[in-house]
Amino acid sequence: MIRITSHSLTGEPLFHLRAGDASYVFCVFHGFLLHLYCGPAVEDDDLTPLLVKVGHDSVVPRPADTPEGWFSLDIAPQEFPVWGTGDYRPSALMIRCADGSAATSLRYVSHEVFAGKPAVDAQPAVFASEDEADTLAVILSDPGSGVTVRLLYTAIRALPAVIRRAVVENPTDSPVTIERCASASLDVATWAEPAELLHLWGTWGRERTVQRTPLAHGTVSVSSRRGASSHHHNPFAALVTARTTETAGPAIGLSLIYAGNFEILADTDPFGSIRFTAGIEPTDFTWRLEPGESFVSPEAVLSISGEGLGKMSRTFHRLWRRHLCRSEWADRTRPVLVNNWEATYFNFDSEKLLAIARDAAACGIEMLVMDDGWFGTRNDDRSSLGDWFVNEEKLPGGLSPLVERINALGLKFGIWFEPEMISPKSRLYDAHPDWALGTPGRDKSVARSQYVLDMTRPDVRDYLFETISNVLSSANIEYVKWDFNRNLTEAASATLPPERQGEVMHRYVLGLYDLLERITAAYPHLLLEGCSSGGGRFDPAMLYYAPQYWTSDDTDAMERLDIQLGTSFVYPASAMSCHVSASPNHQTRRVTSFETRGHVAMGGAFGYELDLTTLTDEEKDLIRRQVADYHRYYGLINRGDFYRLILPGDTVNGKTGGCAAWMTVSEDRSEALVTFVVIRASIHPVYFLRLEGLDPAAKYREESTGAVTAGSTLMRAGINLTSARRGGWTDGSSVVMHFTRI
């Protein structure tokens, strides 16, 4: 719902967006857009009394045409701040005009409201019908340059989520250059308590680790300049207070639907106001806007919670599942798969794959995925990327005979690609060296013995679409793992003029979207899984095309606790690809029980990453039970509401880092699945666990013990797990509990 009234200060428009149980309020003040409130729902519309009217010193300018002596852009809470006319804080927009000037002043022109959400061409975006959302468009114009900006706000009716984006248009006769364009900016001036920025940092094998950074005067930012959203920072941050927990306190989560370079920052001014901004990272970014052209920013999503981080996360989860993932697999039961990578690496042939497939079929596994090494002359990672034709020395007769035999066993078949890369040692590079990104006169940097293809070029994308389609059409291939194993360097294109080289990073991402759009349109039934050396490009933009993502190359169950629970701050379980791998683990050499490896992997899209032919009969029996359990609980895990109960770094009963726990609850609260893992056991362990999300007035039966307990007791008093495991608790031991309402 969007209410539009006139406010008491000047009589100009005031906009009140109601999204679920949240309110987002701003107004026009002497032509400027000023932010008033973002938080739990309020009933009043005119919140202009919240404006802070403080004096400012003589060195701070103010607009000449505003009569209020207190008003200065340098302290005003703005909706979309611009550079060069009196606001010295981080700006959302910076435009360089043909005369070289960069001063901009955006003034209100008009607005319109319509039901639903308009589609976004050429970029991933949230979708919603006329019954699910309302959209407000506010048009602003710069009197000096003539440039106009269209700000779009979509309020999701059933969720406390507001989606924002900006469209910059050039209706003039001269080109302009965009040097910075954020997707959303939010000035928060109403929190009278210490604030923190929660974000997710990482590296290869240690993605999305939770960190809370206290905000002081100055700027805290997270970003990527790597050409992808990266392992190092996720395009998400949350503004919280020091008292915000999983279940209480304010949290405003900001997530950017973008797979490229991004920046999210929180800047605190001298008066304690916080500017929270997200958009394309401006380093090496420019965009030349010719007369009549427009530029559309990526979308940013605000998840607004007054009830802690858990509610913020569950809003993101529902939004991504229902309004972002387009694949027919978004809400369809996905097959349990086994991937051959950690089973064989490059050392496989048809007979080895068939041997794994036979054991997989006997264990109830439903798909075999053939990973890297099936194409060109690739027997290691030093050649053949770009040569997307079958290596018949490994796979005699090509893919069709192999896939037919695997299908005959009752299994589906999937395959690995790394389309955006090219090996210097390949037929493709020999024929088209200019297809690799590279700066004239400089050597190309090499990572994993590969270069990056210039995805800005239509001829490159046409080649990839044709060769990938040839493979997908040659056999009954029902799944693709889309990998991306290095970041961009020397990001210049041989086909762009000098004044447009600053567009390469963004054009690369748009080119990736274009290819993914063509592939998913041509093969609508394909299950696509994203990958980037694990979780290096795990972002909402990729979920638009691929409903699940390889969460990390670190498959150690104890390590995955941090990774998966960190990922859950933004992404649903259905998006996390989680596999049971070998023990000792290939990355850490840690030994963990098969049971616990299964319990942890059941926290997302479930599968296996090991050589089934080496397992004992007892382990294969356990796989059969794990697969059956996953199918039994599939809807609960992948469609339920997720609650983080204990993070691996939490202090429980005086011990830090000793255990972790989480649960999923069906939307009607009739069923719950709880997982508890001991990371490091100790002498005389005491474990109590309080549940969340249940119906306090209902009774619940725990399946394994038959115990019946009130929901209020389970949530407020908790469960005593001290003696819950037969034989006691050891390092890496775990238990799963299933509760049903009676």
The token pair that represents 504 in the structure block: 């390469």
Q: How many helices (H) and strands (E) does the chain have?
A: 12, 40
- Contact between 540 and 324 under an 8 Å Cβ cutoff? The reply is yes
Q: Which one of 187, 267, 454, 553 is the catalytic residue?
A: 553
CA separation for the pair 698, 711 (Å, rounded): 6
CA separation for the pair 698, 740 (Å, rounded): 10
Is 553 catalytic? The answer is: yes
For tokens 């990527």, name the residue: 224
CA-CA-CA-CA torsion sign (354, 360, 362, 367): negative
Q: Is 538 left (phi over 0), alpha (psi -120 to 50) or beta?
A: beta
CA separation for the pair 729, 731 (Å, rounded): 7
User: 181 has which bridge partners?
Assistant: 93
Helix (H, G, I), strand (E, B) or coil at 333: coil
Exposure string for 171-193, b = 16+ CB within 10 A, e = fewer: ebeeebbbbbbbbbbbbbbbbee
For tokens 């490229």, name the residue: 260
* Residue-by-residue DSSP string for 544-592: HH-SEEE--S---HHHHHHHHHHHTTTS-GGGEEEEEE-SS-TTT----
CA-CA-CA-CA torsion sign (28, 33, 37, 39): positive
CA-CA-CA-CA torsion sign (317, 321, 326, 330): positive
Q: Which one of 483, 556, 629, 641 is the catalytic residue?
A: 483
For tokens 């034989």, name the residue: 727
* Residue-by-residue DSSP string for 112-172: EEEES----TTS------TTTEEEEEEEEE-TTT--EEEEEEEEETTSSEEEEEEEEE--S
Question: What are residue 313's phi and psi, to 5 degrees?
Answer: -65, -45
- Contact between 493 and 454 under an 8 Å Cβ cutoff? The reply is yes
Exposure string for 428-453, b = 16+ CB within 10 A, e = fewer: bbeebeebbbbeeeeeeeeeebbbbb
Question: What are residue 581's phi and psi, to 5 degrees?
Answer: -115, 180
- Contact between 53 and 70 under an 8 Å Cβ cutoff? The reply is yes
The token pair that represents 137 in the structure block: 């468009």
Indicate which residues carry an active-site annotation.
483, 553
